[in-house]
Chain A
């Protein structure tokens, strides 16, 4: 009896949809084992991790707060990933969005104009787009790999923010500590619910999900993205302009990352500080793939990923689980997702006689994951 992997003639649509679900179930099963090994009651631990945060209104609003930037960035990245444009630097674009939008908030810290917030939002989007334009230009002009350029620009962006809050934008009344003034009321995203931190950014994120869905299914650009991803040669043949798509994908994802950055600093943080994001730009890459690069999928994936963070905090407070368990869960989830993805391209066969020679030719084509 032997296991054998066989390439499917066609992608299994069923498996494409099911694999995130199977991955989540397998992650939960591994969780049981991990908790048991840590000497904790596995079911109580799972309950605390994945259910307890959802049992209070405050917990639900916090889920929204945490998921908002992940969804915004995830949507943007999913467009590019469909067309094999690999923007890995969303964290940097987020930072630039925060700097552009937050810069306005600092300049007009005593303003009560109703125009301030819209201007900050616009500046945030433009900041993210400007930062993403650099890898787009390098890619289309010099064919420079956007994975490298966008990633490296992230570090530049974070240092730029650090310079600003340590220097020119430092709070003059803040004992030289590296943070800006707090933004005025007019420069802060309004709360949706009293006594919570759920802000307007969550509504914007939902609107973006809907807009992205329309764009992807009804607009020509969405069609082009899908064709480029599925069959690059065909796309070239019918004359899609590759460079324009690259520009679109990077500006789109950069703009949304910038918006996410602005909604963090003008939302729950309320000022510029040296560290404004716990790596949302990178986590959103997982969110995009977990959501199958589909807008609605990204919405749910963002919520699931947010839950792993909040659940991790609850697990520390209630049952004293170490913080590392959160990272462990996220890693295991990604691991199983990638493993399950194989099932959409390959099928498992049980073979009685071990076949002679190589058991299987496992050679997934590059870019296959993105093509789904």
Chain B
């Protein structure tokens, strides 16, 4: 093939490419396009991975009436707004932005594109075309805490945290309360890595915690690295966001699974049917948004207890944040018979008794 031939071929392909793009733009009226903005890579096996499973669930459920797009590893900052705007400008009807740091960017783009529907995960800003949604992961973390409280021998749990935002602090507290419900001597040591996804740092944090005596590793970061460290060092751990048993067949006790599938399919369908409305969803185990991975690597009685606690939370007879709850100084801050309100849960910035250190402020 000589040079001229290859140039011709290139020109032909470029033309064909243009046609493909044009064809993609020409869809029937009632078909919809759904876009996703992810903070991590879809291969993180945690948070972003589960959102992407939800995206695929939309494709599965609505078939060729829907087209989905995603942009992964979008930095929280000036880049997010451009990505969201590009999705809005390229004909997407519904856009999910799946990290707290995308909140202001999503709100700005939503204001500029009133005909496009937006859904922001974990935030608090809403408008006519901007919904928020989140899951009550703390329910699952309470169950994890119960298991850890039963199984720990050193009475030290190592907790790899991402950022000290209310959601993460809430998770640590729920874990602690779960552990204390069966074992009052448990303490939690927290290491912050200031990232949602950084396998190197996450793994180092887990190692440091194990060196300080932790024999249980919990995490609120998105990669399987801390769990893998637990597996290698012969201690136990919990999966994050998805069932990570293949990364730690001997170490994973259970995992708190995020299940966005039902919500995503319902919202996409609502847009298709023309009855989408802005709102705020905070679903727990009862809604199916939060589920537990199989209870593995533990004695039968502990697995049975964990299943009972899960059932109690699901049917509403147990609330992880029901009193009495003591703060770090030992003072009772939630009296017996009371539960922490959703509003206070959403702005939680204090530790319960048993968590070591201070919430970074």
Contact = CB atoms under 8 A, between A and B. Distances in A.
Contacts of A313: 71, 74, 79, 82-83, 86
A175 B75 contact: no
Interface stretch (B10-18, B209-217, B223-231, B271-279): B10-18
B82 A41 contact: no
B154 interface: no
Contacts of B86: 313-314, 317
A167 B163 CA distance: 13
A320 B20 contact: no
B198 interface: no
Contacts of B208: none
Contacts, number: 115
Given A162-B194, A317-B86, A273 B101 contact: yes
B34 to A, nearest CB: 12
Contacts of A350: none
Interface string A67-83: 00000000000000000
A247 to B, nearest CB: 31
Interface string B56-69: 00000000000001
A158 to B, nearest CB: 8
A50 to B, nearest CB: 12
B77 A277 contact: yes
A264 B86 CA distance: 20
Interface string A24-62: 000000000000000001111001100000000010001
B164 A316 contact: no
A7 interface: no
B73 interface: yes
A44 B82 contact: no
Nearest to A316: B71
A265 to B, nearest CB: 9
Interface string B14-37: 101110110000000000000100
Contact of A323 (B73, B89, B163): B73
Greatest chain B CB density within 10 A among A62, A176, A314 is at A176
A317 B90 contact: yes
B79 A309 contact: yes
Nearest to A315: B71
Contact of A271 (B17, B87, B104): B104
Contacts of B83: 313, 317
Contacts of A317: 35, 69, 71, 83, 86-87, 90
A178 B165 contact: yes
B153 interface: no
Given A43-B17, A44-B20, A175-B347, A65 B75 contact: no
Contacts of B76: 273-275
A340 to B, nearest CB: 22
B166 interface: yes
A359 B93 CA distance: 63
A175 B166 contact: yes
A275 B101 contact: yes
Contacts of A62: 82
Nearest to B360: A166
A335 interface: no
Contacts of A277: 77
Contacts of A309: 79
A316 B70 contact: yes
A322 interface: yes
B282 interface: no
Nearest to A170: B361
A43 B16 CA distance: 10
Interface in A122-172: 159, 162-163, 166-167, 170
Contacts of A4: none
A278 interface: yes
Given A274-B194, A278-B75, A317-B90, A176 B347 contact: yes
A197 B77 CA distance: 13
Greatest chain A CB density within 10 A among B17, B18, B112, B348 is at B17
A177 B166 contact: yes
A169 B139 CA distance: 31
Greatest chain B CB density within 10 A among A62, A177, A267, A277 is at A177
A110 interface: no
A42 B6 CA distance: 13
26 contacts: A41-B13, A43-B10, A43-B17, A44-B14, A66-B78, A66-B82, A166-B164, A166-B360, A167-B360, A176-B166, A176-B348, A177-B165, A177-B166, A178-B163, A178-B164, A179-B104, A274-B194, A276-B77, A278-B75, A309-B79, A313-B74, A316-B70, A317-B71, A320-B69, A323-B71, A324-B73
Given A177-B124, A268-B81, A313-B74, 20 more contacts: A41-B13, A41-B20, A44-B20, A166-B163, A175-B124, A175-B166, A176-B165, A177-B100, A177-B166, A178-B165, A267-B78, A269-B78, A274-B101, A275-B101, A313-B82, A317-B35, A317-B71, A320-B69, A322-B72, A324-B41
Interface of A: 41-44, 47-48, 58, 62, 65-66, 159, 162-163, 166-167, 170, 175-179, 182, 195, 197, 264, 267-271, 273-278, 309-310, 313-314, 316-318, 320, 322-324
